[in-house]
């Protein structure tokens, strides 16, 4: 199967001599070129799942396949692009040299990049900063540099862990649309963690809503909206309907008392 196939994955961590389950029986699939979003409360295992897809560590049980290959092989073949919660740039390298790094690691075995490092730096809005060091950039600029770096080796799958959390609203939307455009051009499968319901709906084909303790998927929501997505997409009634569905799947995890505070139809009772 092409794309991403995660079957019955569980992960436990050892804590004080006990095995603490972080993820329990997570299954999800994305076809090649599809965009998936993970959303759920802090600590429900979203980053843990991404790290297992990236072969940072292995699941306790279950299987993961990237275009049919296990994560270990996909990582060896440099088929995985990863953007972490923090930008993780090399401080002694310039912006351009950070973006180039994966190509250097690939060496002669490398595929011809779909876009040159110079092009990608421009694409993420860092033109003029090619020779700056990461310490000379804002947090959001560092994050954009990390996105360019993740794309430079034309990976089969792009894993993004809250990549735009540090950006202001306008830059965030700009990056959302840039990423959608790049993904459409490259056909890369993408899996992104976000805490923003709107961002998930705007970007994704499928949204996986997680609950915590243990981390698990409580609902998979298909986003039935045409591409390319634009700002106007957010005016589409289907956009708000989908936002509503995701919100309900998330807030279904809250106790009733809190639920009432959030229910606008009950607002007059508090007035």
Ligand X SMILES: Nc1ncnc2c1ncn2[C@@H]1O[C@H](COP(=O)(O)OP(=O)(O)OP(=O)(O)O)[C@@H](O)[C@H]1O
Contacting residues toward ligand X, per CB under 6 A: 13, 22, 42-48
**Residue 99: CB minimum distance to ligand X, A:** 25
Q: How far apart are CA 59 and CA 233, in angstroms?
A: 37
Residue with smaller CB distance to ligand X, 48 or 98: 48
What is the DSSP code (8-state) at residue 215? B
Residue 5 to residues 2, 178, 244, Cα–Cα distance (Å):
8, 26, 27
Residue 22 touches which of Mg ion, ligand X, none (Cβ within 5-8 Å per kind): ligand X
Which residue from 47, 79, 94, 154 is in contact with Mg ion, where contact means CB under 5 A? 47
Q: Which two three-digit tokens encode residue 148? A: 């360019």
* Cβ contact 160:191 at 8 Å: yes
Cα 219 to Cα 240: distance, rounded to the nearest angstrom: 17
Q: Tell the smallest beta-carbon distance from residue 98 to Mg ion (Å).
A: 22
Q: Is 48 in the site for Mg ion (CB under 5 A)?
A: no
Nearer Cβ to ligand X (34/60): 60
Closer to ligand X by Cβ: residue 162 or 182: 162
Closest distance of CB 16 from ligand X, Å: 11
Three-state secondary structure call for residue 161: strand
Q: Residue 163's closest CA among 139, 143, 191, 183?
A: 143
Binder of residue 149, out of Mg ion, ligand X, none (CB less than 5 to 8 A by kind): none
**Residue 135 binds which of Mg ion, ligand X, none (CB < 5-8 A, kind-dependent):** none
């Amino acid at each position: 199967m092409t794309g991403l196939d995660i079957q019955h994955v569980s992960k436990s961590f050892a804590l004080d001599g006990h095995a603490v389950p972080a993820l329990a029986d997570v299954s999800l699939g994305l076809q090649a070129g599809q965009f998936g979003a993970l959303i759920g409360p802090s600590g429900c295992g979203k980053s843990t799942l991404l790290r297992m897809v990236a072969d940072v560590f292995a699941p306790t049980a279950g299987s993961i396949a990237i275009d049919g290959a296990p994560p270990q092989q996909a990582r060896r073949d440099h088929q995985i692009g990863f953007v972490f919660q923090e930008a993780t740039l090399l401080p002694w390298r310039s912006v351009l040299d950070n973006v180039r790094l994966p190509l250097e690691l690939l060496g002669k075995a490398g595929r011809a990049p779909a876009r040159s490092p110079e092009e990608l730096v421009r694409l993420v809005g860092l033109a003029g900063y090619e020779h700056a060091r990461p310490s000379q950039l804002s947090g959001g600029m560092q994050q954009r540099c990390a996105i360019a770096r993740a794309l430079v080796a034309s990976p089969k799958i792009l894993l993004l862990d809250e990549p735009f959390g540090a950006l202001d609203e306008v830059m965030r939307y700009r990056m959302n649309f840039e990423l959608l455009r790049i993904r459409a051009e490259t056909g890369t499968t993408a899996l992104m963690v976000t805490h923003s319901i709107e961002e998930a709906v705007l970007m994704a084909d499928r949204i996986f809503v997680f609950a915590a303790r243990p981390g698990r998927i409580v609902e998979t929501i298909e986003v039935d909206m045409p591409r390319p997505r634009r700002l106007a997409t957010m005016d589409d009634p289907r956009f708000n309907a989908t936002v509503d569905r995701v919100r309900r799947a998330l807030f279904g995890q809250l106790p009733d008392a809190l639920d009432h505070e959030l229910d606008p139809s009950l607002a007059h009772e508090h007035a």
